[in-house]
Amino acid sequence: MGADQQVSRSTASVFIKDVLVWRRGLSDLLLSDGKISAFDPDPKTIPDNAVIVDGKGQVLLPGLVEAHTHMDKTLLGMGWHPNSAGPLFIDKIDNERRIRREIGIDPRKQSEKQLRLSITKGSTHFRTHVDVDTECGLAGIEGLLATREAYRHMMDMEIVAFPQSGLMIRPGTYELLDAALHMGADVVGGLDPCAIDRAPKEHLDLIFGLSERHGKPVDIHLHEPAELGAFSMELIIERTRALGMQGHVTISHAFCLGMTDRSYARHLMSQLAQEKIAIMTHGAPSRPVPPIAECYEFGITVCSGSDGIRDSWGPYGNGDMLERAMILGLRNNFRRDDEVEMGLDACTYGGAKVMKSTKYGLDVGCDADLVMMPAKAIAHAVVERPANRTVFKKGSIVAKSGVIVEGPS
């Protein structure tokens, strides 16, 4: 039997002893062939060559799920660029294209930087929205496809072809989205059909048309507030129902669900639940946001993400989905342990469900995608955000104490 540091991509079994497994309690577990093969295994079943990891009572979570980010355009590691965008949403879109021209952003390199940072924080699953527009074309998609290929042994990734600069207002974008989906993008993205494209019916018909033709799910950024966002949400719900796309649609941000008219918001939530439309919230402290506890009551799948990290939109973010769970908790006034864990659920199981990762979780037979950290309770891990994390992907340690254990293959 070997020491911790010998765990690497191999067929060796791993025996993790003495960990506080979420929703299970103090346990030992055996990982074999990249999967969780047993909890509290009979000692006779542990192979002689199994690598032993002594958890010493640490918390064990399933790998964190970064279900909404923009890896193609982070400025991580590119020096500090003072943010000077104007106050409007469209100002930020225009500012971004300007910055991209001025400083040059290599999506392949930048996405790798963010991905490595996020893996050290314990994320094992990613859905990243990648800009597709008439200026950058498919460069972002190409960059992300290359990064995904280089790191496919360390994580799972879905790439969303995302018309950040608008679809109807930028002729040529539709064809680029179509090409991106042919190249390997997994999800059709969309953006504020009223506020940006000024043509909600047309925008959504094109997006859902691409989805139908490519057999790929939809994930639409919907920042539109209150009654305007609710109108766009109704149009999305109608199309999901008409096309039988239940379980294949995500609405990101969905700020309108935080609107003042709670009876209307609850009506929308009941419709979302019925059509199995998932919600992504990053718990923006400065905006009305979907109330997570109410979404759970309705049975809506809720996932979360860092959104942009250190980019032209804003300076914040570090890729830590435990910190995101804390922000969700702060935003939703979660104080009790079970509430804090609801926020964490969105940063783990909720995202995995949106990504249709059927082998995700802490049960026998699940992929051994895990993150372990020193904490006395699950909620404690969220508020403490320990730096010293051990991250497993399919049974192999891929990061430890903030450092990637293996390079790209």
Residue (44 or 336) nearer to a second copy, CB: 336
* Structure letter (DSSP) for residue 390: E
CB of residue 273 vs a second copy: minimum separation in angstroms? 24
Nearest to 222 by CA among 208, 204, 210: 204
CA distance 355 to 348: 11
Residue (253 or 310) nearer to a second copy, CB: 310
CA distance 405 to 399: 5
Residue (82 or 215) nearer to a second copy, CB: 82
Residue (253 or 331) nearer to a second copy, CB: 331
Cα angle 299-303-306, degrees, rounded to a multiple of 5? 160
Nearest to 118 by CA among 405, 407, 404, 406: 404
Residue (245 or 375) nearer to a second copy, CB: 375
Residue (76 or 154) nearer to a second copy, CB: 76
DSSP string, 272-291: HHHTT-EEE----TTS----
CB of residue 56 vs a second copy: minimum separation in angstroms? 16
CB of residue 330 vs a second copy: minimum separation in angstroms? 4
- Which amino acid does the sequence have at 138? L
β-sheet with 187-191: strand ranges across: 64-69, 123-131, 156-162, 187-191, 218-222, 249-253, 278-280, 302-303
For the chain, count helices (H), then strands (E): 12, 16
CB of residue 260 vs a second copy: minimum separation in angstroms? 8
Residue (11 or 333) nearer to a second copy, CB: 333
CB of residue 57 vs a second copy: minimum separation in angstroms? 12
DSSP string, 127-190: EEEEE-BTTTBTHHHHHHHHHHHHTTTT-EEEEEEE-TT-STTSTTHHHHHHHHHHHT--EEEE
CB of residue 365 vs a second copy: minimum separation in angstroms? 30
Residue (1 or 103) nearer to a second copy, CB: 103
Tell me which residue has tokens 């979420």. Answer: 22
Site for a second copy, rule CB under 8 A: 79-80, 82-85, 283-287, 310, 313-318, 326-327, 329-333, 335-337, 340, 376-377, 379-380, 382-384, 387
Tell me which residue has tokens 């909720």. Answer: 350
CB of residue 259 vs a second copy: minimum separation in angstroms? 13
Tell me which residue has tokens 């450092």. Answer: 403
CB of residue 286 vs a second copy: minimum separation in angstroms? 4
